[in-house]
Amino acid sequence: MKAAYLDCFSGISGDMLLGALVDAGLDFNLLQRDLAGLDLDEYELYEQKVLKQGIRGTQIHVHALEGHVHRHLSDIQAIIGRSALPPQVKEKSLEIFTRLGKAEAKIHGTDIEQIHFHEVGAVDAIVDIVGAVIGFWRLGIERVFASPIHVGKGFVKAAHGLLPVPAPATLELLTGVPIYAQDVEGELATPTGAAIVTAYCREFGPFPKIRVERIGYGAGVKDLTIPNLLRLTIGELANEDKGQEGIREGEALTLEVNIDDMNPECYDYLFEKLFQAGAMDVYIQTIQMKKNRPAVLLTVQTPYHKLEEMRRILFQETTTIGLRVYPIKKYMLPYELLTVETNYGSAKVKVAFMEGRACTVSPEYEDCRRLARLTGEPLKHIYEEIKEKAKILLYSTKYPMD
């Protein structure tokens, strides 16, 4: 599972997060193209490489051309709702705006629909929030961790006058989150940054066990006595951090095409390309189409961020001229790959867990085949032997079989 760790040693704001995502490999042009789906043309977006205490980072500037516009939550819901963004990006962006609105409403002692969002309703907050959601989606990040958050201290100038740091809405949003202040004067964590990080992250602490793949530094505007950067680390989460406590929920897409005129020899290559590009599953079923034509129903399961690639492969490598896409919800048991020693040789076994107990043990087919070829034993005997050895191994661990 792809995970991200946000190192908030200098706080977090919407533009710092956007900068960190771009610095970690989010394609800036693609981000601009995705944001163009918003039907908001009163802004310009710039990317700039800057140095903060000798560390190079990416600063994103949202230059508003619209002046100071007050928007209500319903205005923002309409902008995001009618946009050309994918449904999960819309949903997460709206969740973040609602959290922000609720926090502001509580601070001002008013109703969420009375809040006209002030600074946070301005175009830069929309770009920061929707841009960050696009970034996590495009980079395929499924789980987010963060450090305790350095919030800064002192006072900050806002529309109504001076506000204590952390700003009231920031502090409200960070309820339940470990925060701290040191000697650094100024506002390090903003309401937008706090709303985004708390919408994605439940775990605030040291680095989780991840295999580091990409690192990004997002720069803040001010020069501070510490590097004004948000550090984003992206990597594959190690097995034990997947958690053996229960069932994970996930979202994915199912792509379907009906094909009645393709050389069957091409399917093998098609499967290979789809799996190589990151498909989670690919399968075909025979169907009977109109005019009694025998045909094939090809199904591809893919993470959201791989949609464009899958679509391109399907149009390029099959004879179809159309495809169907459905969002799906997935429930997945956490699992581990164990290695067991048998009389025939060593083999891997996939063990799935539920409520702290091993509930399914599946020997890896490739290993069973290898051992069957090597020893001449029937594959089914090898399969059973591996399963038995895995059960014995599990009895001696804290995760016994049911």
Ligand X SMILES: O=C([S-])c1cc(C(=O)S)c[n+]([C@@H]2O[C@H](COP(=O)(O)O)[C@@H](O)[C@H]2O)c1
Interface contacts to ligand X, rule CB under 6 A? 13-14, 104, 107, 118-120, 125, 156, 158-160, 163, 167-170, 187, 190-192
The closest of 154, 116, 97, 87 to 307, measured between CA atoms, is 87
Residue 107 touches which of Ni ion, ligand X, none (Cβ within 5-8 Å per kind): ligand X
- The DSSP symbol for 280 reads S
In the region spanning residues 59 to 118, those forming contacts with Ni ion, defined by CB under 5 A, are 118
State which amino acid sits at residue 289: M
Among the listed residues 235, 227, 182, the one whose alpha carbon sits nearest the alpha carbon of residue 207: 235
Smallest separation (angstroms) from Ni ion to the CB of 332: 43
Nearer to ligand X, 86 or 220 (CB): 220
3-state class of 36 per DSSP?
helix
Quick one: what does residue 45 bind among ligand X, Ni ion, none, with the CB cut-off 5 to 8 Å set by partner type?
none
Tell me the Ramachandran region of residue 135: left when phi exceeds 0, alpha when psi lies from -120 to 50, beta otherwise. alpha
Q: What is the CA radius of gyration of the chain?
A: 25
CB of 81 to ligand X, least distance (A): 21
Choose among Ni ion, ligand X, none what residue 34 binds, the Cβ cut-off being 5 to 8 Å by kind. none
What b/e string do you get for 314-335 counting C-beta neighbours within 10 Å, with b at 16 or more?
A: beebbebeebeeeeeeeeebbb
Smallest gap from residue 70 Cβ to Ni ion (A): 10
Q: Give me the least distance between CB of 103 and ligand X, in Å please.
A: 7
138's contact among Ni ion, ligand X, none, with CB below 5 to 8 A by partner kind, is: none
Contact of residue 186 among ligand X, Ni ion, none (CB under 5-8 Å per partner type): none
Tokens 């189409």: give the residue.
Answer: 289
Residue 13 binding result from ligand X, Ni ion, none, given CB thresholds of 5 to 8 Å by partner type: ligand X
Phi, psi (rounded to 5 degrees) for 269: -65, -40
Nearer to ligand X, 64 or 156 (CB): 156
SS3 391: helix
Question: Could you say which of Ni ion, ligand X, none residue 125 binds, taking C-beta under 5 to 8 angstroms by partner kind?
Answer: ligand X
385 binds, among ligand X, Ni ion, none (CB under 5 to 8 A by kind): none
103 versus 229: smaller Cβ distance to Ni ion = 103
In contact, 216 and 25? CB cutoff 8 Å: yes
Q: Which is nearer to ligand X, 156 or 224 (CB)?
A: 156
Distance CA 367, CA 397 (A): 23
How far, in Å, are 161, 260, 323 from residue 294 at the CA level?
A: 72, 7, 18
**In the complex, minimum distance from the CB of residue 115 to Ni ion, in angstroms, rounded to a whole number:** 7
Write down the least CB distance from residue 160 to ligand X, Å.
6
CB 214 within 8 A of CB 234: yes
- Which residue is closest to Ni ion by CB? 118
**Count of residues near Ni ion by CB under 5 A:** 1
Q: CB-based burial of residue 283 (10 Å sphere; 0-12 exposed, 13-18 middle, 19+ buried)?
A: exposed
Closer by beta carbon to ligand X, 107 or else 284: 107
Residue 16 vs residues 33, 151, 216: alpha-carbon distances, Å: 20, 14, 10
167 binds, among Ni ion, ligand X, none (CB under 5 to 8 A by kind): ligand X
CB 72 within 8 A of CB 100: no
146 binds, among ligand X, Ni ion, none (CB under 5 to 8 A by kind): none
- Minimum CB separation of residue 30 from ligand X in Å reads 24
237 near 210, Cβ under 8 Å? yes
Side chain identity at 95, as an amino acid letter? E
Residue number with CB closer to Ni ion (118 or 242)? 118
Which residue lies nearer to Ni ion by CB, 118 or 150? 118
Provide the mask over 28-57, with x wherever binding to Ni ion is found by CB under 5 A and - wherever it is not. ------------------------------
Stretch 110-169 residues interacting with Ni ion (CB under 5 A): 118
Nearest to 254 by CA among 298, 302, 296: 302
Nearest to ligand X of 93, 170 (CB atom): 170
Nearer to ligand X, 13 or 83 (CB): 13
Would you say the C-alpha torsion 364, 368, 370, 371 has a positive or negative sign?
A: positive
Nearer to ligand X, 85 or 103 (CB): 103
- The residue ranges that bind Ni ion (CB under 5 A) are 118
